[in-house]
Amino acid sequence: MSIVVTGATGNLGRLVIGGLLEKVPSDQITAVVHSEQRAADLAARGVRIAVADYNAPETVDGVLSAGDKVLLISSSEFHRDRLGQHKVVIDAAKAAGVALLAYTSAAGSLTAALADDARATEAVILDSGLPYVLLRNGWYNENYTEQLAPVLQSNTVTQAAGQGRVASASRADYAAAAVAVLTGEGHENTTYELNGDTAWSFAEYAAELSRQSGREIAYNPVSVETYVGILTGHAGLPEPLAAILGGVEASIEKGEMAAAGGELSRLTGRPTTPIADSIAAALKG
């Protein structure tokens, strides 16, 4: 029996592996990765490495075994067939007879296109008959605090979320929830709506940035169209990804990411990380 984590060398996956190593022996952890080289540090810690490409289903054969607990971390390849990639893992999990399939989904309240693949993946998981856990992760603090360079350069927080609020949490908080599910009992066939304990607005975010950086940083609300233009122009993002992110901004303005339900802190046994703490960490570099 192993605890298997897909996308293990991604930002979330590495945190999950780190948390698992504090709970279970390293030889009970399997990291599924695209590149063995990128996972060398995990292998050095005794984690089993399995190289697989979800776009080549045959590479997943033999990775999962009966009795495994599996964490399917949602694919970040927005330009690919994400649902198809997820189905490769789900089909392999069903064929192997795994004990639990956990999936990092999107917030249940989110109607933006970003959630489309998540909802479709959830449906496939439910149809599979596998014991499951749906981890409906809300927005990450790092979605903003890892993008501070242009904000500090312009002294402006530019978003298309109006006065909407975000009940975000740190990536480490969401990773800790996944670890709790993978190492605990009684989570089968459960859906968790996970978000931060406190919601904040972008005006408040700009004010906190001002306080911590010693600069006068203003909030500049713009239209979704203008925001998408900024992402494709100045940031150089592909148009489809920029449109997806613009849709999330519209959802935030409508209040879809503002709920602070407390399930995340209950799963982890600790308060979620305030946005101010993530700002401080980012400013320290």
Q: What is the mean pLDDT of each run of 10 residues along the chain (285 residues)?
A: 94 98 97 94 97 92 95 84 94 97 97 95 98 97 96 97 98 98 97 98 98 98 97 90 96 96 95 98 93
Name the residue ranges covered by the structural domains of the chain.
3-138+170-195+259-272
Q: How far apart are CA 69 and CA 98, in angstroms?
A: 6
Encode pLDDT of 193-247 as tens digits.
999 999 999 999 999 999 999 999 999 999 999 999 999 998 889 999 999 999 9
Q: Percent of the chain beyond pLDDT 70?
A: 99
Place of tokens 């490769």: 88
Q: What pLDDT does residue 72 have?
A: 98
Q: Which pLDDT does position 134 carry in this prediction?
A: 98
Name the CATH superfamily for 3-138+170-195+259-272: NAD(P)-binding Rossmann-like Domain (3.40.50.720)
Which pTM value belongs to this model?
Answer: 0.96
Q: Where are the alpha helices (DSSP H) in the chain?
A: 11-21, 40-44, 82-96, 116-128, 142-145, 148-154, 171-183, 202-213, 224-233, 239-253, 263-268, 275-284
List, for residues 12-34, the tens digit of each pLDDT value: 999 999 999 999 999 999 999 99
In the structure encoding, which two tokens stand for residue 104, read together? Answer: 């990092």
